[in-house]
Every structure is written in structure tokens, then in C-alpha cells.
């Protein structure tokens, strides 16, 4: 049920001009202003690199399989409920299923990813228990959840998560050795929200708004180290293991 990461930037009413500019950002600038997406890319790359060749990996909430490219050395299995976006092509999924009732035997996967999907699941605790069930003992989970994000993929958008809520859900589902890392702090969040504001402008007003919104959005991330607690964050990158 997950969305494309790029679509997260502005919501359903996003300006086409804004989306076109976003897709054409040079890599260094994309990493600077789209920190959340870059952090997700890095996490997926590192996660896949640590897995054995041929390991069976579940993408729970795969959407259009945009993460398959990270798992070319492994056996990648994509599952989704296929209701997130009517315009998406779900034809390449390996299975269409609810994450709270996966059609796989217990202990069959060596790893699982769940990327910006848990907010779209009505019963997140049940879904995490299913992911834990289908993982082999010692199997690894990479999960990324939003904390400060706009409503998206309506009406299938139910939750936002704190680090404490995620720790509770992971522990309740039987996971162990989990880490929960915030992705950026207050100043990166503020930068992102300024860029999000461009979606409300059309035609020549878009460029007028960009003159006022883009410069501070480019400057603010440099101050992010001042927010040491990271309580103002776009989301969390979480890793965990199933008990051996």
C-alpha cells in the first residue's frame, strides 16, 4: 500500500511544476533538501548489502516494487493490498494480500522490509506480528515510519508514530535488538515544509513563491545539529530481529 517516495513531497494536489523540479534536482541538492528519501535509499542499500546472496526477502507493502532494484542478489518477494493508488500498476506483485494475514508459511523469509507503509495499516500490531511470524529465527526487519507528515493516500491513512510507540509495537510483536533512529530534526522538518508550500501555487505564482520559500529551505538544514533530541522529525528508520 506504500506510496512512491517522491509523491510524499507534496500530496495529491501537488503542482506538476513542483514535481518536475523535484525529479530534476542534482544528486547533491536532492540529498540536502530531500533528506528523508536519501536516508531511506541509504538504509535499503546497507540492509541489502548485509544479506546473503540468494536470501529470501519480503517487501511488505511493495506498491509498484520500487525497492526491487536493491535486492538483485537476493530473492525478492513483493506483497501489497493494492488499494493505495488507483493509478499504480500492481501487476508485478507476487501476491496481493493484507499484511495482517500474509499467505506465507511461518519462518520462510530471512529478511523483510516495510517502507513508509505501517501508517496505512489499520491494525499495525497485527501486521508486525505477521511479519515476525513469517521471518526465520534471527531474521532481520527494516521498517521506516513517518512521524510528521501530511495526510496522504486518503482514505487509507491512519497513524503517525513516535519512537516510543514503535518500540512498544516491535516489542509486543516479539522483535528484539531493535534500533529506532530519527531522520533529521526541527530544521530539516521546517525546510521540507517550506518546500511543500510550493504545491499550493500555480503558473507564475509558483515562481514568485519559490523566490521566498526556496532560499530559507536550502539554508535551514545547516542548522539541524542544534536539535539534538530530534523530537521534531519527519520519521524513523527502524531495524529489528526475530528472536533466534
pLDDT of residue 31: 82
Q: For the chain, list the domains and their CATH numbers.
A: 6-10+36-185+228-242 (3.40.50.150)
pLDDT of residue 26: 77
pLDDT of residue 23: 66
Mean pLDDT per segment of 10 residues, for the chain of length 244 residues? 39 44 71 89 97 98 95 97 86 95 97 97 98 98 96 92 98 97 97 92 92 94 96 97 96
pLDDT of residue 11: 36
Q: What is the pLDDT of residues 173-213, one digit of tens each?
A: 999 999 999 999 999 999 999 999 988 999 999 999 999 99
Kindly state the greatest CA–CA separation across the chain: 59
Q: What is the pLDDT of residues 132-148, one digit of tens each?
A: 999 999 999 999 999 99
Rounded Cα distance, 74 and 149, in Å: 32
Amino acid at each position: 500500500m506504500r506510496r512512491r517516495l517522491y509523491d510524499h513531497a507534496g500530496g495529491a494536489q501537488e503542482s506538476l511544476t513542483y514535481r518536475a523540479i523535484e525529479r530534476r534536482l542534482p544528486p547533491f541538492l536532492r540529498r540536502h533538501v530531500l533528506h528523508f528519501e536519501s536516508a531511506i535509499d541509504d538504509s535499503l542499500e546497507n540492509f541489502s548489502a548485509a544479506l546473503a546472496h540468494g536470501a529470501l526477502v519480503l517487501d511488505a507493502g511493495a506498491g509498484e516494487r520500487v525497492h526491487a532494484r536493491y535486492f538483485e542478489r537476493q530473492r525478492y518477494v513483493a506483497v501489497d493490498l493494492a488499494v493505495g493508488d488507483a493509478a499504480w500498476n500492481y501487476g508485478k506483485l507476487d501476491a496481493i494480500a493484507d499484511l495482517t494475514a500474509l499467505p506465507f508459511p511461518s519462518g520462510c523469509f530471512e529478511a523483510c522490509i516495510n517502507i513508509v507503509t505501517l501508517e496505512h495499516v489499520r491494525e499495525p500490531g497485527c501486521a508486525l506480528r505477521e511479519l515476525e511470524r513469517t521471518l526465520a529465527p534471527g531474521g532481520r526487519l527494516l521498517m521506516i515510519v513517518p512521524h510528521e507528515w501530511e495526510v496522504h493516500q486518503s482514505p487509507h491513512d491512519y497513524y503517525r508514530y513516535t519512537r516510543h510507540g514503535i518500540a512498544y509495537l516491535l516489542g509486543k510483536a516479539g522483535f528484539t535488538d531493535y534500533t529506532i533512529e530519527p531522520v533529521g530534526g526541527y530544521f530539516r522538518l521546517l525546510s521540507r515544509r517550506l518546500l511543500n508550500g510550493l504545491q499550493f501555487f500555480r503558473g507564475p505564482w509558483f515562481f514568485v513563491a519559490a523566490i521566498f520559500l526556496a532560499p530559507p529551505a536550502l539554508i535551514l538544514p545547516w542548522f539541524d545539529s542544534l536539535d539534538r533530541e530530534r523530537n521534531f522529525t519527519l520519521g524513523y528508520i527502524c531495524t529489528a530481529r526475530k528472536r533466534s
